[in-house]
Amino acid sequence: MKGKILVTGGTGYIGSHTVVELQNVGFDVVIVDDLSNSTAAVVNQIEEITGKRPAFHQFNLQNLELLGKFFKECKGIDAVIHFAAFKAVGESVQKPMNYYRNNLVSLINLFECMENAGVNNLVFSSSCTVYGQPEHLPVTEQTPRQTAESPYGNTKIVCEDIIKDYTHANPKIQAIALRYFNPIGAHPSALIGELPNGIPNNLVPFVAQTAAGIRPQLSVFGNDYDTPDGSCIRDYINVVDLAKAHVISIGRLLDQKNESAFEFFNVGTGKGVSVLELLNAFEKATGQKVNYKIVGRRAGDIEQIYADTTKANSVLGWKSVATLEETLLSAWNWEQRIRIKG
């Protein structure tokens, strides 16, 4: 496919995997990232995987002047994939203003500059967090959104609303929001993956670090939920499969196949997996024992959520293909590689 795609947050976890998949099908990629939660070395790794070095610019999208200058100098952008955002749920409760300022202002600045530069297509990183704890499972795109549990979750809801209102007022602008379930795993090359800052909050990086001996023990947050084994249920989506959903969404916008100015899709596997099932699958896939203990519930956790992916399957023609075991093995291979490299 031909075209030039701006990927904000392109050195981050999902962003870097998406840059690889975009380049694999022939897109030119320009990354803008402030490296607040990633490193410039990721650009080298992307080059090693794809044989092509994406252009890279380091700045924060809150800086409207720099962003405007960037769009003036970097001509011919066909579409933007907007990953750049803060994403730590707990931190967002401590520092809500940082989250609102960064996540909302970045999107607003991006739209302003896109409009000035005549760039009409946007794919946005949303999250299943917008559904809260739904009454009925699996969740479809029609499932009502709920009041967010955290400022982070609220930024996803408000950003979706900004996109809805903006595309309504500016019919030239077309957007797709992808509502990710729980992205996990790493590129099969083990050259890129998730690089958690300090002690991981998310389950799979914590599991991998525990298996690697970096953490003495995993805490399983609760076994008294109303689920078959008592632990929480999530829909764990392979990060490469997720990256491919972005490439398809870009193709849909560029080919003008979208049915409305703002579309949104659930991106998950459609399968609910409990924390204990995931641990079991990790041990089976990697042959590593994970030392864990059951502790109390974590504040703010929902009991269970998994996607109905019918819309993404039928409208986008996208489906997750990786098995849970192979995805967990990729997370383990990545963990070992970063451990070896230090």
The site for ligand UFG (CB under 6 A) is made up of: 87, 89, 127-129, 153, 182, 201-203, 206, 218-221, 232, 234, 275, 298, 301
Q: How far is the CB of 336 from ligand UFG (least distance, A)?
A: 20
Tokens in use for 18? 């998406």
Quickly count: other Cβ atoms within 10 Å of residue 136's Cβ: 8
Q: How far is the CB of 65 from ligand UFG (least distance, A)?
A: 30
Give the residue at shortest CB distance from ligand UFG.
232
C-alpha distances (whole Å) from 185 to each of 242, 263, 309 are 11, 27, 20
Q: What's the burial of 112, exposed, middle or buried (CB within 10 Å: 0-12/13-18/19+)? A: middle
Write the DSSP assignment of 119-132 as a string of letters. Answer: --EEEEEEEGGGG-
Tokens in use for 317? 């023609």
| CA–CA distance, 123 with 126 (Å, rounded to integer) | 9
Residue 232 near residue 298, CB atoms below 8 Å:
no
Q: How far is the CB of 23 from ligand UFG (least distance, A)?
A: 26
Residue found by looking up tokens 């963990």 in the block: 335
The DSSP output letter for 10 is T
Q: How far is the CB of 281 from ligand UFG (least distance, A)?
A: 13
Among residues 192 and 275, whose Cβ is nearest to ligand UFG?
275
**Helix or strand holding residue 182 (H, E):** strand 182-184
The DSSP output letter for 267 is E
Q: How far is the CB of 135 from ligand UFG (least distance, A)?
A: 16
Residue found by looking up tokens 């795109």 in the block: 141
61-92 burial code (b ≥16 CB/10 A, e <16):
bbeeebbeebbeeeeebbbbbbbbbbbbbebb
**Helix or strand holding residue 265 (H, E):** strand 262-267
Give yes or no: 236 in active site.
no
Residue found by looking up tokens 């870097």 in the block: 16
Among residues 54 and 272, whose Cβ is nearest to ligand UFG?
272
Write the DSSP assignment of 209-253 as a string of letters. Answer: HHHTTSSS-EEEE-S-SSSTTSS-EE-EEEHHHHHHHHHHHHHHH
Among residues 129 and 288, whose Cβ is nearest to ligand UFG?
129
Q: How far is the CB of 154 from ligand UFG (least distance, A)?
A: 11
Q: Of 99, 152, 180, 306, which one is the catalytic site residue?
A: 152
The catalytic site residues sit at 152
